[in-house]
Amino acid sequence: MEKIKPKIYKKKGPIVEVFLRLAKNKTAILGLIIVAILIIAALAAPFIFDYDDVIIKQNISNRLQSPSKDNWFGTDDLGRDIFARIVYGSRISLRVSFTAVAIALLIGGFLGAIGGYYGGMLDNIIMRFMDVFLAIPGTLFAITIAAALGNNIRNLIIALSISSIPGFARILRSSVITVRDVEFIEAARAIGANDARIILNHVIPNSLAPVIVHTTLNVATIILTIAGLSFLGLGIAPPAPEWGSMLSSGRTYLIGHSYITAFPGFAIMITILALNLLGDGLRDALDPRLK
């Protein structure tokens, strides 16, 4: 008699499961691919284009050229290739936004986690403090800080992360509160785990889903804010190829040379679109109940 081989269902890890669910969502994958291309472009840009020679060197004889075979997106008022500047610009947008989000996640997450876990007085103080931050419309707050500190990349990162902290604090707090009193936390406490261990090993991993989604969407918001600030002349100053400031420099040439303004705008739009698609997809993949 032939032996029946039992089929073994191997339980896949949570990350694999989430990814498999994400992979079924076509628009989310599209978003993921675009984000991946952007990251690769940002990493590869210095090897393709020379910063001093191509990105910022003025070439007046070649100024205001419409899009062509040599200059795919045309050239700006100082004769620089817009395509090269947009590709290089992804470095700035991604670096600044990732750094700012990471800082906001750490500080805001820490405040939210301890507030939600301990509750009481500490929670009250933290959240009243956050109320003050949340009372000012977000972008406006970033504008004020950036303008007050003066425009360089470091100050911009400070401004963006401060204005994102309350959002992260709130999200982490509310999800920590929902898992704080469940049985496995009590079990961990019963076997003598200390608070730091419980928070880091048990509470946070179980409240990550909303944080991941918020992080993705927050990167999108921050990239939009960077562009907005630079557009107002408060973000990253020229000649650095930042999308918002490139867009702003084309304002004088709107009639006849609107492509100078149009292409950086498309770059911002596609980036934000991709991050939003990915964020929505992650939300569905991380929490199938919501679907």
Partner 1 sequence: MWKYILKRLLYLIPVLFGVTLLVFLIMSVAPGDPAKVILGEQATPEAIEQLRVELGLDDPVLVQYMRYATGLLKGDMGMSYKSKDPVAVEIVARIPTTLKLTLSATLIAVLVAIPLGIFAAVKQNTLFDGLSMFIALLGISIPIFWLGLMLLVLFSQRLGWFPSSGAASWKSFILPGVALGFHSMASIARITRSSMLEVIRQDYIRTARSKGMPYRDVITKHALPNALIPTITVTGLQIGALMAGSVLTETVFSLPGIGRLIINSIQGRDIPVVLGCILVFTIGFSVVNLLVDLLYAYVDPRIKAQYT
Q: With contacts defined by CB under 8 A, name the span among 13-21, 80-88, 142-150, 174-182 that binds partner 1.
A: 142-150
Residues 6 or more apart in contact with residue 257 via CB below 8 angstroms: 64, 66, 74, 77, 250
Nearest to 38 by CA among 221, 223, 247, 215: 223
C-alpha of 35 from chain center: 10
Please, what is the minimum distance in Å from the beta carbon of residue 282 to partner 1? Answer: 15
Helices 208-231 + 82-118 axis angle, to 10 = 140
- Buried (b) or exposed (e) across 35-61, using 16+ Cβ within 10 A? beebeebbeebeeebeeeebbbeeeee
Q: Is 269 in the site for partner 1 (CB under 8 A)?
A: yes
Q: Taking each helix axis as running N to C, give the angle between helix 153-180 and helix 120-135, from 0 to 180 degrees, rounded to the nearest 10.
A: 140
Of 12, 24, 26, 251, the one binding partner 1 by CB under 8 A: 251
Q: Which of residues 147-176 bind partner 1 (CB under 8 A)?
A: 147-150
Judged by CB under 8 A, the stretch of 6-14, 60-68, 141-149, 193-201 that binds partner 1 is 141-149
Of the ranges 6-14, 85-93, 98-106, 146-154, which one interacts with partner 1 (CB under 8 A)? 146-154
Question: How many residues form the binding site for partner 1 (CB under 8 A)?
Answer: 41
Residue from 50, 70, 124, 137 in contact with partner 1 (CB under 8 A): 137
* Contact between 127 and partner 1 per CB under 8 A: no
Identify which of 92, 65, 91 has the alpha carbon closest to the alpha carbon of residue 78: 65
Per CB under 8 A, does 33 bind partner 1? no
Q: What distances in angstroms separate CA 63 from CA 44, 55, 79, 250, one per listed residue?
A: 26, 14, 4, 12
- Per CB under 8 A, 179 contacts partner 1: no
Nearer residue to partner 1 within complex by CB, 176 or 274: 274
Which DSSP helix (H) or strand (E) runs through 261? Answer: helix 259-286
Length of the chain: 291
| 218 lies in the site for partner 1, by CB under 8 A | no
Q: Which of 23, 37, 102, 140 forms a contact with partner 1 (CB under 8 A)?
A: 140
Least distance CB 51 / partner 1 (angstroms): 25
Q: Which of 277, 278, 282, 285 binds partner 1 (CB under 8 A)?
A: 277
Residue among 218, 99, 229 nearest 168 (CA): 218
- 177 vs 273, which CB is nearer to partner 1? 273
CB count within 10 Å of CB 211 equals 21
Q: Which residues bind partner 1 (CB under 8 A)?
A: 129, 131-133, 135-140, 143-145, 147-150, 220, 224, 227-228, 231-232, 234, 244, 247, 251, 254-255, 258, 261-262, 264-265, 268-270, 272-273, 276-277
